[in-house]
Structure 1
Amino acid sequence: MNVAGKSQTAAEQGTVFTRNFVALFHQNKVTMDYIQESDFTMMEEGFTVRDLIDKIINEASQTEERDAFLVGDMEEVVKKHLHFLKTLPRVKPFYAVKCNNVKPLVKILAEMGSGFDCASKAEIELIKEIGVNPERIIYANTCKQISSIKFAANSGVQMMTFDNELELVKVSENHPKAKMVLRIANKDSNSSNDMNAKFGAPLNTCRHLLETAKNLNIEVIGVSFHVGIGCLDPQIYAQSIADAHLVFNMASEFQHKMTLLDIGGGFPGTVEAKISFEEIAAVVNSALDTYFPEGSAVDVIAEPGRYYVLSAFTLAVNIIAKKIVQQDAPESHGERNNPCKSAFYYLNDGIYGTFSRLLFLCGYPKLIFHKEPSPEQPLYMSSLWGPTCDPMDQIAEHLYLPELCIGDWLLYYNVGAYTIVTSSTFNGFHPPHIHFAMSPKAWEDVLLLKRRFEQA
């Protein structure tokens, strides 16, 4: 574990902060394994994540190895968790592991009492490995392999989703003690990534599915839905909660004891989103009061993913190559734009790495120059490319940028969701190294939340 600060030497910082925080963790019976195994920086007051990025870049610039890297701001994750609990007080988060599965992140969420939405055997293994009770896991995948169903059964994971009759038959034969959650389809939510094409049972099939479960002696305990990514209409949450209430009523006809409502994910991860988290929360809270009021003996969970991690991770990439192409005097757009040439910049991360999210239409990360260029510099039509030999490995095109140099750094904010998990080693390029950072105040919040969770 590293310690970053501005007023002490590295040795002094390590002596003061490492000893105190190791002792603090041991006093509170919190394992340090996931910290000691990671590149983790404890930042003293006044030292920001951007300071840490600058420090890493300055050190890398003294060498020839100027590899791309990520910085995960775990304090941002803690703040998001606290805000979630405050804004949706009746909803317990079950973090969507598929969104970002790095161990320090999921371990910190576990310490704060989060549950987990797992979609595969490997994700269940990860969450079990960090010591999470299987009661805090929902196997939220409606199309499961038989061997994975058996693994969940042997691991003590009982909650799992379904949306069709054949899935019920598989579960009845391989995990008869499962507690099933019926995933229903949503009406059109105008989401950028609609889930209904692949998942969810239409309302007119739910009564049959509930009856089938009863005949197979399979317990159905609740209903789930997911409005999709980039939802533009928060009222779809209210409509889906109302639909879930109808299914609860159907379930009573077949003596299913319904105790769980899972409102899924789709929550925005940045303040720039067209629909804010607070707007969605207001709609959800009102709908819960109407259809599942307090005292109704129904637990409400959600599956936030990008909400927690999108804004918590920053990518630093280096320009490793450059090509200038002379133009035949095209039209100029704007006073600073120079039409005489265009620039191709090749970065040491691309579509097969952190930028893989672009393939899934999840939005474009925010680009920042590490060294802010002069406002007087002319702008050239530019394109950004990844390091592989695939001509499809293009990050961006038609950008008007000042002329950049080989060795310059670019920063991308909001890269925490569906980036690390979808990276590959195509062409032998490995995903960027991840540095984690947090302040002492955030650690104290983690410990406080851990104690509250254990006492609840």
Structure 2
Amino acid sequence: MLSVKDALKNQILSLDIDMCEPDAENAFFVANLDEVYNQHFRWKSLLPRIEPFYAVKCNPDPLLLRLLASLGTGFDCASKVEIQTILDIGVDPSKIIYANPCKQASFVRYAAEHNVKMMTFDNSDELYKIKRYFPDAQLVLRILTDDTMSLCKLGLKFGASLDSTEALLQTARKLDLNVIGVSFHVGSGCYDENAFIDAVHRARFVFDQASELGFNLHLLDVGGGFSHSRNCDGITFEKIAAILGPEIDSLFPPNVRVIAEPGRYYAAPAFTIATHIIARRTVLSNGDVQTLDMDTVLNDETQTRDDHSGYMYYINDGVYGAFNCILFDHQVVHPKVLFKKGIFTFDEILDEPVYNCSIWGPTCDSIDCISTVSSLPVLLPGDWLYFEEMGAYTICAASQFNGFKKSNIIYTATNPEVFAILYDAYF
């Protein structure tokens, strides 16, 4: 199969913008499944004790899920549909944790019918619900942690404080429910590795508390929040693993099973999106927007002018589509030039002047802004931009507002093992 570069190039060069069918020049993803494979063995190398249970909500792409299932990961599901999706690809129910502390009653019944026993809770009402619909469930108490160093602070919605855990355990004991462990989540997009250490110590406190009440806990779920970045200046997976692994070993004996719920760690680096510049407006130095005739646009005479301060570029995916991560997930995206004046420029540094610009999505809504301030060389309608690390919380929440279609996915891999796994999964 092709590299990401070749997949992008082949798709773009196959298009004749003047003659193609409607939608042919839509934005599209290239999913490099080699990245998923590499991330998995990076995990197994650095955190060998912790079993990854991929967070399906992050990106439920079917090929991604099949690859992870083939690699032996478990799955963190938050709904009946997610559970059904994972069961349908042949995953054993024991490899699923229903990690939603507040569940719909019919979904609890569905989990019971399909023997998906592990599920989380953080309140007493949930315990009574589970007692009614799935009394044989294996329960995991989700506790509140310090998530102030994360982009998405999940503690606003979920997690039992340490002041309430004893009462919850007593209720579970009264209802004769099987509590098997403790879970936590330091928040999505955590940028302080020490948050995991504080959370592990809180979990140890609840383990001891449960032991005094007669429970024999044997599962620790350290949740998500794992960085996929290899940027040494920020938090990296290596930094997290270097302190989290030893801390778990020091606090929990080997008989305690440890799992985690990584999502963006696997999905983010695997997906690149290519977007077509569908329109452009020139912003004059006085702030006015200039309308140019077609000959001027095509000849790009504005490069020689000194009375403009920048450009507004409009591309064919936006915050109602794959770039919803900007609104919902606090992501900052970085545009790069992919195709300019008929020349393919992937992964190249262009020796050209750059200008201030803003980048906008295709809908008629003014909030559909992808970047308020970027620096790019002068581009024309018909050129292409690309954005890397776009696999997490993008496709899964995209809509078709204003009638714009969701961006398609082209899959690629150069690793023969990845290709073989996917071939076996489908044929």
When the two structures are superposed, what TM-score results if normalisation uses the length of structure 2? 0.88
Please point out which of 80, 86, 92 is paired with 2:51.
92
Task: Read off the aligned partner of 1:279 and give its amino acid letter.
Answer: K
Deviation at 1:381, TM superposition (A): 2.8
- Which residue in 2 is equivalent to 1:327? 285
Report the counterpart of residue 49 of structure 1 in structure 2: 4
Structure 1 residues 364 and 442: alpha-carbon distance in aligned structure 2, compared to 1, 3 A threshold: farther
Q: CA, structure 1 residues 292+66, in 2 after alignment: closer, same or farther (shift >3 Å)?
A: same
Offset, 1:217? 1.3
Distance (Å, rounded) in 1 between the aligned partners of 2:349 and 2:397: 36
Corresponding position of 2:382: 407
- Residue equivalent to 1:146: 105
Instruction: Give the residue type in structure 2 aligned to 1:323.
Output: R
- Partner of 1:135 in structure 2? 94
Counterpart of 2:395, as a letter, is I
Of residues 390-399 and 366-375 in structure 1, the stretch that sits farther from structure 2 once superposed is 366-375
The 2-side partners of 1:232 and 1:389 are apart by 35
User: Deviations 1:190-210 (Å, cap 9, x if unpaired)?
Assistant: 212111111100111111100
Deviation of residue 60 (structure 1)?
2.1
Structure 1 gap segments, 5+ residues each: 1-41, 331-335, 451-456
Match of 2:119 in 1: 160
Mapped to 1, the partners of 2:164 and 2:41 lie a distance apart of: 38
Contact (CA 8 Å) 1:345, 1:382: kept in 2 or not? yes
Secondary structure (helix, strand or coil) at the match of 1:204 reads coil
Q: 1:60 and 2:15 equivalent?
A: yes
Measure how far apart 1:325 and its partner are: 3.1
Q: State how far apart, in whole Å, the 2-side matches of 1:214 and 1:68 are.
A: 54
Return the alpha-carbon distance in structure 2 between the equivalents of residues 104 and 111 of structure 1: 10
Corresponding residue number in structure 2 for 1:288 = 248
Structure 2 residue identity aligned to 1:287: E
The within-5 A match list for 1:411-426 is 411-426=386-401
Contact persistence 1:70–1:316 (CA under 8 A):
yes
Helix, strand or coil at the partner of 1:256 = coil
User: 1:342 Cα shift?
Assistant: 2.9
CA contact (8 A) 1:75 1:442 kept: no
What letter is aligned with 2:13?
A: N
Residues 105-124 of structure 1 aligned to structure 2 (within 5 Å): 105-124=64-83
Distance (whole Å) between structure 2 residues aligned to residue 188 and residue 443 of structure 1: 35
- Distance (Å, rounded) in 2 between the aligned partners of 1:240 and 1:337: 57
Relative to structure 1, the CA distance from residue 348 to residue 292 in structure 2 (aligned partners, 3 Å threshold; closer, same or farther) is same
- Output aligned runs, 1:173-192, within 5 Å: 173-192=132-151
- Residue 382 of structure 1 corresponds to 357
> 1: CA distance between counterparts of 2:74 and 2:139?
17
Name 2:413's counterpart in structure 1.
438
State the partner residue of 2:301: none
**Cα distance, 1:363 vs. partner?**
2.2
Aligned AA (1:342): G
Which of 311, 314, 328 is 2:269 aligned to? 311
- Alpha-carbon offset, residue 400 of structure 1: 3.0
> Counterpart in 1 of 2:236?
276
Look up the equivalent residue of 1:110 and give its one-letter code: A
> Which moved further from structure 2: 69-78 or 395-404?
395-404
Equivalent residue number for residue 337 of structure 2: 369
Shift of 1:435: 0.8
- Give the distance between the partners of 1:256 and 1:278, measured in 2 at CA: 34
Rounded to whole Å, the distance in 1 between the matches of 2:70 and 2:265 is 18
1:96-121 deviations in whole A, cap 9, x for unaligned? Answer: 00000010000110011000000111
Aligned-partner Cα distance in 2 for 1:238–1:381: 42
Render the CA deviation track for 1:346-381: whole Å, top value 9, x for unaligned.
Answer: 111000011000002432233210144995644333
Distance 1:337 1:138, change over 3 A: farther
The verdict on how the C-alpha distance between 1:142 and 1:324 changes in structure 2, with shifts beyond 3 A counting, is same
Deviates further, 211-220 or 265-274: 265-274
Alignment partner of 1:392 is 2:347: no
* 2:317 matches 1:349: yes
Q: Aligned pair count? A: 396
Please report how far the alpha carbon of residue 338 of structure 1 lies from its aligned counterpart in structure 2 after TM superposition. 5.3
Partner SS for 2:335: strand
Aligned partner (choices 149, 152, 162) of residue 203 of structure 1:
162
Q: Name the CA distance, whole Å, in 2 between partners of 1:328 and 1:137.
A: 58
CA distance in structure 1 between the partners assigned to 2:128 and 2:146 by the alignment: 27
- Kindly provide the amino acid, as one letter, of the partner of residue 317 in structure 2: D
- Counterpart AA for 2:219: L
> CA 1:307–1:188 in structure 2 vs 1: closer, same or farther (change >3 Å)?
closer
Once the two structures are aligned, what percentage of the paired residues are identical?
A: 43
* Aligned counterparts of 1:338 and 1:168: Cα–Cα separation in 2: 68
Q: Which moved more, 1:412-421 or 1:251-260?
A: 251-260
- Distance in 2 (CA, whole Å) between partners of 1:188 and 1:416 is 23
Once the two structures are superposed, what CA deviation does each residue of 1:45-98 show, in whole Å capped at 9, x if it has no partner?
A: xxx211111111111246532111001110110000011011001000000000
Structure 2, unmatched stretches of 5+, are: 289-303, 340-344
Q: Which residue of 2 aligns with 1:298?
A: 256
- Matched residue, 1:427: 402
Instruction: After TM superposition, give the deviation of residue 128 of structure 1 in Å.
Output: 0.8
The AA in structure 1 aligned to 2:99 is A
Shift of 1:222: 0.2
Distance 1:375 1:115 in 2: 43
Contact in 2 for aligned 1:181/1:220 (Cα 8 Å): yes
SS at match of 2:156: coil
Listed one character per residue, the Cα deviations across residues 365-423 of structure 1 (whole Å, up to 9, x for unaligned) are: 33210144995644333111111111111111122322211110101001000000010
